[in-house]
Structure 1
């Protein structure tokens, strides 16, 4: 297994609930896990994250964690099928923060298109799933 150069580790409020959310609802693959502390390494179409049960270990925090975790950050996760994620969220009665939105982002003289949704995970992290629409000239 090759690890990405940047690899977020998310402390979570309820490990089992978070693991279920990422694997059963969103479709992440459980690569491996440990039991002490509760930890899982997950992957999704080239993206990788780690989740770990919050343990109040001050060495790994710059402030006391409180809900919603991850304030001020969103994780953009590339997907090849935004609709599949939406369907799974709806089937599991899990709310979207924002439904599908088409966005075009300028990179030099080219616009890069994406179909995006926003969802908040059980610990409060903001996830942005993004499906590429291609490019066009400005």
Structure 2
């Protein structure tokens, strides 16, 4: 695995629940884990993120954290195909925050197309799974 130059670290309230969501439901790979504090470095199709159970002693927390976590940000995860991820989520009883849709975004003098959906993880962090569908 090649380390990503930017890897978000998400504080979570229930490590086991979050680990299960990412690894068992979304098929992320646990590249490595730690026990104290509970931590995992996760990857899927080249995307990487870290989860760590919140202990209250994190020096980088700038103010009070309330659910849903990560308000105002979403993490785009580019994958080859989004349907397998959406199907796994639905099969495990998760409701998509925003269902599968096609979007076209202005890029230079053309447009880049994506199929995408949004899902909240157990703490409310918003994940946007996206597959590229072409340019025009």
TM-score (norm 1): 0.95
State the partner residue of 1:103. 103
1:28 and 2:28 correspond: yes
Show the counterpart of 1:67: 67
How well do the aligned residues superpose, as a CA RMSD in angstroms? 0.9
Q: How many residues align?
A: 136
Q: Hey, what does 2:115 align to over in structure 1? A: 115
Query: Residue in 2 aligned with 1:45?
Result: 45
Q: 1:58 Cα shift? A: 4.6
2:23 and 2:91 map into 1 onto residues whose CA distance is 14
Runs of 4+ in 1 over 4 A off after TM superposition: none
CA–CA separation in structure 1 for the residues paired with 2:77 and 2:88:
16
Structure 2 CA distance, aligned partners of 1:13 and 1:41? 16
Partners of 1:133 and 1:90 lie apart in 2 by 23
| Structure 2 partner of 1:55 | 55
Residue in structure 1 matched with residue 78 of structure 2 by the alignment: 78
Aligned match of 1:16: 16
Shift of 1:131: 0.6
Aligned twin of 1:88: 88
Q: Which residue of structure 2 aligns with residue 4 of structure 1?
A: 4
Q: Deviations over 1:7-55 (max 9, x none)?
A: 1000001100000000111111111100000000000101000000011
Give the Cα–Cα distance (whole angstroms) in 2 for the partners of residues 129 and 26 of structure 1.
Answer: 11
